[in-house]
């Protein structure tokens, strides 16, 4: 389960990603998306993996605060409600680099 401040960060990232303000880099080989922000001054990476021991999907959220040079690591699994919120951001982030104009 994610702390409240991280939940708010995820919500803001999703909103700004879906509105086209934030673009992400997708790494298929590592199952991750990443971006660098100026405000707040952070690098963020979200990776997905399936935990074969617990038999659940897991998202790992790595936040690197560039002002303090500190890494922060959070995770959530399919057992928690916030998993779907992170999944929605992850999916939006994957698509953020594409222009599907019709």
Q: What's the total number of domains in the chain? A: 1
In this structure, what token pair is assigned to residue 30? 């590592």
Q: Is residue 90 part of a domain?
A: yes
Q: Is residue 101 part of a domain?
A: no
Q: What integer pLDDT is reported at residue 93 of this predicted model?
A: 97
Q: Give the domain range for residue 16.
A: 4-95
Q: Is residue 65 part of a domain?
A: yes
**DSSP assignment string, 23-70:** --EEETTTTEEEEE-SSS-EEEEEEEEEETTTTEEEEEEEEEETTTTE
Q: Is residue 102 part of a domain?
A: no
21: DSSP letter = S
Q: Is residue 14 part of a domain?
A: yes
Contacts of 4 (CB under 8 A, 6+ apart): none
Share the mean pLDDT of the chain.
95
Q: Is the pLDDT of residue 41 over 80?
A: yes
Q: What integer pLDDT is reported at residue 5 of this predicted model?
A: 96
Contact 61, 74 (CB under 8 A): yes
In tens, the pLDDT along 57-84 reads 999 999 999 999 999 999 999 999 999 9
Q: What integer pLDDT is reported at residue 63 of this predicted model?
A: 97
* Confidence bin at 34 (pLDDT 50/70/90): very high
């Amino acid at each position: 389960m994610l702390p409240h401040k991280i939940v708010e960060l995820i919500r803001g990232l999703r909103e700004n990603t879906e509105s086209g303000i934030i673009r992400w880099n997708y790494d298929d080989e590592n199952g991750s998306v990443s971006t660098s922000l100026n405000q707040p001054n952070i690098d963020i990476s979200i990776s997905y993996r399936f935990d074969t021991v617990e038999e659940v999907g897991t998202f790992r959220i790595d936040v690197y605060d560039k002002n303090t040079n500190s890494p922060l690591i959070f995770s959530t699994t399919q057992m928690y409600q916030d998993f779907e919120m992170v999944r929605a951001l992850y999916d939006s982030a994957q698509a953020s680099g594409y222009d599907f104009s019709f």
